[in-house]
Structure 1
Amino acid sequence: MSLPDRKEAEARLLLERRTGEPVPADLAARALADGERLLRRRRALRTALWAGLVVGLAALVAWSLALHPWAAPPPTTTSPAVGW
């Protein structure tokens, strides 16, 4: 038997031997609740990240409007006297 044939034969054997194991009656409801909880958490995290980004951007804009970081600093020395 070649390798793919052996794997296929093992899979068929497992499927044929499979017993009908009982599934809990509330499995679908629990899966639905878990999925909804996961989606709520992801949505809350995404909202928090976007809110943090917007707050950070607003703080950057407010800082730049208040301090004008692009302007040249005022000179600290006087210019030389003219006419000497």
Structure 2
Amino acid sequence: MNRAEREAAVRRVMEETPPSVPPELYPEVMRRGGRMLRRRTAARRLLWLLLCAAAVAFFVWAMVARPWVEPPSETTPPLTGW
């Protein structure tokens, strides 16, 4: 099957009318779709909450540990009384 034949076959398939869906499936589809949306929304909110908690935890750690400050030197005693 060459390219022209494949394109013609695809056109025939796309021009056909889609099969009809039984009307009794509609309530089930709506129930499942609603559940999927609720789960996705809950997961998104949970991930945002975890991200915010991680940011707050990092900020608190940075304020307590102050990793940007050079630790005091412990090799020589401080010079006092000069």
**TM-score, length-normalised on structure 1?**
0.67
Cα distance in structure 2, aligned partners of 1:34 and 1:55? 31
Cα distance in structure 2, aligned partners of 1:22 and 1:69? 63
Call closer, same or farther: CA 1:62–1:35 in 2, change over 3 Å.
same
Match of 2:63? 65
Cα distance in structure 2, aligned partners of 1:69 and 1:21? 65
Match of 2:46? 48
Alignment gaps of 5+ in structure 1: none
Call closer, same or farther: CA 1:74–1:31 in 2, change over 3 Å.
same
Structure with max Cα Rg: 1
RMSD across aligned positions (CA): 3.1
Q: For each residue in 1:37-68, what CA deviation from the matched residue of structure 2 results, as whole angstroms up to 9, or x when unmatched?
A: 11011101101110000000000000011111
Count residues in correspondence: 73
Identity of aligned residues (%): 29
**TM-score, length-normalised on structure 2?**
0.69
Task: Write out aligned runs for 1:32-43 (5 A).
Answer: 32-43=30-41
Q: Which runs of 4+ in 1 moved over 4 A?
A: none
